[in-house]
Amino acid sequence: MSAGLKLICHDCDTANRVPADKLGSGPKCGTCGAKLTDGKVHDIAFKTMEKSVKSDDLPLIVDFWAAWCGPCRMMAPQFAQAAKTLAPHVRFAKVDTQSNPDATVRYNIRGIPLLILFDKGREVARLTGARPAVDIEAFVRTHVAQTA
């Protein structure tokens, strides 16, 4: 039996324990049934993101964006493609800075889109501006070894 990984459900905020060797088989939340490592980008609240950053055993990359931001909307499909490529070893989320102004203060966000990579409860690196999927994937692989 492999070690269990703790993952916060991005739909219901519940902590889940998932065997590491089952990440690729689509583990689901024990409370709401949502997939935990589905390779999709989840639009989450700042509170959920903070909980996930502190608790998750997998790296989390967050796109800080806003609906009015043209480059943010332009990058969204690229971010989604990178999420599919790096699943199930990295989780992807979006936080709307207009709906969650505390995020801009907490992380000193001066411009969007901004990608912040979190691992083991701390910020690992930042990437600013709209980027293609290959750049996002390379950025994550550079800073998190187990995604190769």
pTM: 0.93
69 part of the active site: yes
Kindly report the backbone phi and psi dihedral angles of residue 125, in degrees, each rounded to the nearest multiple of 5, phi listed first: -165, 165
pLDDT score for 24: 87
Q: pLDDT of the chain along its 148 residues, tens only?
A: 457 899 999 999 999 999 989 888 989 999 999 999 999 999 999 999 999 999 999 999 999 999 999 999 999 999 999 999 999 999 999 999 999 999 999 999 999 999 999 999 999 999 999 999 999 999 999 999 765 4
**Alpha helices per DSSP H over 58-148:** 70-86, 101-106, 133-143
9 part of the active site: no
pLDDT score for 113: 98
Q: Where are the domains of the chain?
A: 38-147
C-alpha to C-alpha distance for 139 and 125, rounded to whole angstroms: 9
pLDDT score for 43: 97
Annotated catalytic residue, options 12, 29, 32, 72: 72
pLDDT score for 145: 75
According to DSSP, the residues that pair with 117 across neighbouring strands are 61, 125
pLDDT score for 3: 74
Name all contacts of 3-6 with Cβ < 8 Å and 24+ positions apart: 5/56, 5/57, 5/58, 6/55, 6/56, 6/57
Q: Which CATH superfamily is domain 38-147 in?
A: Glutaredoxin (3.40.30.10)
Annotated catalytic residue, options 12, 29, 32, 69: 69
CB 8 within 8 A of CB 32: no
pLDDT score for 57: 95
